[in-house]
A and B are shown apart, each in its own frame.
Chain A
């Protein structure tokens, strides 16, 4: 079957062990998680988990049902079939050699990203966007010399008119 990228937004009870139940469900069944981000919502008793996974249509059905079966899961929202806004955040530390500084700043500008720390030898750049944009940015920074990267998992919200 065809492998697709799926993006799930899962509302859960904000309790110890809930993330472990969810990740355990994945590892126990041999499903792979591509990215995961978790934080509490405006309701302190509820957290939202955004999860990206690659699998076929049959497996995502099982994943969604199995997630829903967990006692602490309140709602499973599959954003994949809807209109949604997706963002990932990356902090990228690059070599800031004098002859490259202008070029780096140009790319930062084009990507509407930000230099958040300037040093004698390094810049730290903050860039956000969907995973494609982050990957594109990283690939452009590669020749400059990337020292270190930290990336969050994807987060997403459905659009107002999202079907």
Chain B
């Protein structure tokens, strides 16, 4: 059967179990969009900027535990995706990005809307392709999906010249992908796991440190089982929030620069860190020399490059997090459970004391709204059930601290790259993946303006999202650094000139509510969340509120600035 390249592309995407793609057409991709128009079972969401398409695909992947797909045209369409791709790469999100390209005969001739996107995205994709031979199109697409979601997941880009898309090709569904050069190892080493068990038996002051890898491998349940069996307190990286229930008494809160006092102190004083699916990012470790001086470290990661990269590890376990956790739990069950809980009382009591003496706190006894209060009320009203996305900055940290994530895949944020403008498109992508869920984007007044145009996408596509803007009329996180480290010289962080967000919502066809008093926070949230359609809730908050605790960059994580 002969099909066009565009028809093959659509067939192959559908064969991967994808039901939604996010895109923006252009000269190089007209044929693909033309073909997509004929398929009701593959939804195309028209975005307003290609960066938005990639963030949507990213959040769709996380909320649906699937592979996200974005489709854009050549040249500027392709370059606009770079930030989204780099973010997905940092956070190991399975995604395939299709870019249009000028016809093969024009490649390298500086043709109109031509760019070497394969060259540009080489360092920020897991892998990428330029399909020059139409006969290889189907195999390449299948291989791209295979690479994107296997091993340590990541974004894969496939560049499609216009003549390849238009070519007539004999089409057969490809054989399962076999690659001689790429064979991720899922199975953890048995000896290393046995060593981990013996280390878990000897520890007096253990902490489990969960990262995004736990969530990506869907290993949250196994992690929770181990923590409960051995009565080990758990902390997490930003990407690991939800890997262990935030309401569990053994949950320590987030670790790192804006981690809780008890999480940072626990890591600082522990004798064993059981790290799962984490890469010991500098936002988590602070000064490496002073990180967890007394602790032996067990680390599970699918990616060997994450092990020994920043921190020396005593027991490295290379493999899929879920598989390794499951195997370790099975081994633990064969032992006497008492062996794993030796003399834990003193340690847990000490952690409880840290919690009691130095909890996360803020004071709402003022006329002005505290941003933390808004997030905490949002948690109460949604009962922690919402899918929450964030922008990047203070809004992100307060959400991480005060919205207590009980389940994985409920917190969707740009962790590694820290992309302002991520949250709104991410909320739309998450809603496309989970239409029955309430999806809330927590934003700052600065970052919401970075991809505000996607409001139109939400409304046009009926992907209702609720947007909470914590408006402090500052680029708050940078202002905070300027306050602490630059003698309060607020250079270029003043954002007093902002649009009227309520009118802006209305201009797009959304609803807008504004709240300036602490007394109206609950009411505004309730009204906003219960109003059908896409809604902006703007909260005018304390201008100079800072995120506490804070570890100054380069310091030990136990050396914290407290409120």
Contacts and interface: CB of A to CB of B under 8 A. Distances in A.
B147 A17 contact: no
Given A13-B181, A28-B123, A68 B118 contact: no
B182 A62 contact: no
A159 interface: no
A66 B122 contact: no
A66 B123 contact: no
Given A17-B122, A21-B122, A24-B123, A73 B181 contact: yes
A65 B304 contact: yes
Contact of A71 (B119, B147, B309): B147
B530 interface: no
Nearest to A72: B181
Given A17-B122, A20-B122, A65 B305 contact: yes
B55 interface: no
Contacts of B538: none
Contact of B305 (A21, A69, A73): A69
A17 B107 CA distance: 15
A144 B293 CA distance: 60
Contacts, number: 35
Given A61-B308, A62-B305, A71 B182 contact: yes
Interface residues of B, number: 17
Contacts of A24: 122-123
A74 interface: yes
Interface in B114-135: 118-119, 122-123, 126-127, 130
Interface residues on A, range: 10 to 19
B119 A20 contact: yes
Interface in A45-66: 58, 61-62, 65-66
Given A20-B122, A21-B122, A66 B181 contact: no
A134 B487 CA distance: 59
B140 to A, nearest CB: 12
A21 B124 CA distance: 11
Contacts of A20: 119, 122
A20 B119 CA distance: 8
Interface string B139-154: 0000000010000000
B180 interface: yes
B464 interface: no
A25 B118 CA distance: 15
Interface in B307-321: 308-309
Interface of B: 118-119, 122-123, 126-127, 130, 147, 179-182, 303-305, 308-309
Which 3 residue pairs spanning A and B have beta carbons closest together? A71-B127, A65-B305, A74-B181
24 contacts: A17-B118, A17-B119, A17-B122, A17-B130, A20-B119, A21-B122, A24-B122, A58-B308, A62-B305, A65-B304, A65-B305, A66-B305, A69-B303, A69-B304, A69-B305, A71-B126, A71-B127, A71-B147, A71-B179, A71-B182, A72-B181, A73-B181, A74-B180, A74-B181
